[in-house]
């Protein structure tokens, strides 16, 4: 890690990033377009923003093997599935519940890393995982009392979290052999193509949306992606990966505040209690259990 100072203070940049990714669920709630269309254009527009800076990576792209391309396609499919399920969850449950469950992403990655890569985790981190899972149970329990649809949204969010964990675990191996920027660009394009095929098969319109929707599509690409996830990746040259990863605790808090202010959403006691347990458990996990190097994590931002 480079210890030089960035042109803007790190705490300010972290705050900007957290606010930016917190707006993701708000934009999705504001949109009336199908989530598969929102996901397609978010990924497409992000890819177009990245494309002008991809020229230095053409050589690395040409050196990729057939197996690498298959894994990249698989990773893109998992990313598309993540967006389809998580963005769909926001049609049924609250922003707070959905994003708090999505914050379990590191726990799913830990489980997957143990199953597929035999990576072990410290006992204290296991305790943090158990606390966080207990918090999700409380969120679901509280949501049942509101509406069965809320529980459906919680389950969709869990499915979306599992899908993005698979996407990141595949990426963890691929970025050893290729630049993280190239990995992200190819996977974004692949996921956008998967969404396009899905929309085509399902007969969902590509173009017939009012100007407001197109504005939201652009905002989804620029705000939570460029000023959120890409900014966090850039910050890895100045601060540790563990410090950057703590943004995952900030998103549910920021998203819940924005949902209260902009959408009028309020939480019940069990949802608050569950959310606090999730944050506490993840705090323990992230500070005591993560043994990956900053290099292995630079290409693996949260995908909300």
Say what the pLDDT of residue 105 is. Answer: 76
pLDDT in tens, 60-100: 999 999 999 999 999 999 999 999 999 999 998 888 888 87
299 band by pLDDT with thresholds 50, 70 and 90: very low
Structure tokens at 50: 């990245």
Query: Between residues 188 and 97, which one has the greater pLDDT?
Result: 188
The mean pLDDT value of the chain amounts to 82
pLDDT at 17 > cutoff 80: yes
Task: Dump pLDDT digits (tens) for 125-182.
Answer: 677 767 777 776 766 666 555 667 788 888 999 999 889 888 888 887 888 888 888 9
The pLDDT value given to residue 119 = 67
- 3-state SS of the chain is CCCCCCCCCHHHHHHHHHHHHHHHHHHHHHCCCCHHHHHHHHHHHHHHHHHHHCHHHHHHHHCCCHHHHHHHHHHHHHHHHHHHHHHHHCCCCCHHHHHHHHCCHHHHHHHHHHHHHCCCCCHHHHHHHHHHHHHHHHHHHHHHCCCHHHHHHHHHHHHHHHHHHHHHHHHHHHCCCCCHHHHHHHHHHHHHHHHHHHHHHHCCCCCCCCHHHHHHHHHHHHHHHHHHHHHHHHHCCCCCHHHHHCHHHHHHHHHHHHHHHHHCCCCCHHHHHHHHHHHHHHHHHHHHCCCCCHHHHCCCCCCC
Supply the pLDDT for residue 243: 60
Distance CA 131, CA 17 (A): 26
For 22-55, write each residue's pLDDT tens digit.
Answer: 899 999 999 999 999 999 999 999 999 999 999 9
């Amino acid at each position: 890690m480079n210890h030089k100072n960035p042109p803007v203070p790190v705490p300010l940049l972290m705050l900007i990033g957290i606010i930016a990714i917190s707006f993701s669920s708000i934009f999705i709630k504001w949109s009336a377009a199908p989530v598969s269309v929102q996901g397609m254009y978010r990924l497409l527009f992000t890819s177009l923003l990245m494309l002008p800076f991809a020229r230095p990576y053409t050589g690395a792209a040409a050196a990729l093997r057939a197996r690498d391309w298959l894994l990249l396609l698989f990773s893109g499919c998992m990313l598309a599935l993540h967006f389809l399920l998580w963005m769909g969850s926001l049609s049924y449950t609250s922003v707070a519940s959905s994003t708090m469950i999505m914050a379990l992403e590191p726990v799913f990655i830990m489980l997957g890393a143990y199953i597929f890569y035999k990576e072990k985790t410290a006992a204290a981190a296991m305790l943090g995982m158990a606390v966080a899972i207990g918090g999700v149970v409380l969120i679901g329990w509280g949501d049942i009392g509101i509406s069965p649809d809320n529980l459906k949204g919680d389950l969709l969010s869990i499915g979306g979290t599992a899908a993005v964990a698979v996407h990141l675990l595949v990426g963890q191996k691929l970025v050893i052999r290729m630049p993280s920027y190239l990995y992200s660009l190819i996977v974004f394009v692949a996921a956008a193509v998967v969404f396009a095929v899905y929309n085509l098969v399902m007969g969902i319109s590509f173009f017939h949306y009012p100007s407001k929707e197109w504005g939201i599509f652009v905002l989804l690409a620029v705000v939570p992606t460029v000023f959120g996830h890409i900014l966090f990746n850039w910050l890895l040259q100045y601060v540790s990966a563990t410090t950057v990863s703590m943004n995952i605790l900030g998103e549910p808090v920021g998203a819940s505040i924005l949902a209260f202010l902009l959408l009028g959403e309020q939480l019940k006691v069990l949802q608050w209690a569950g959310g606090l347990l999730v944050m506490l458990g993840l705090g323990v996990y992230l500070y005591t259990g993560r043994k990956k190097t900053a290099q292995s994590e630079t290409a693996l931002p949260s995908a909300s």
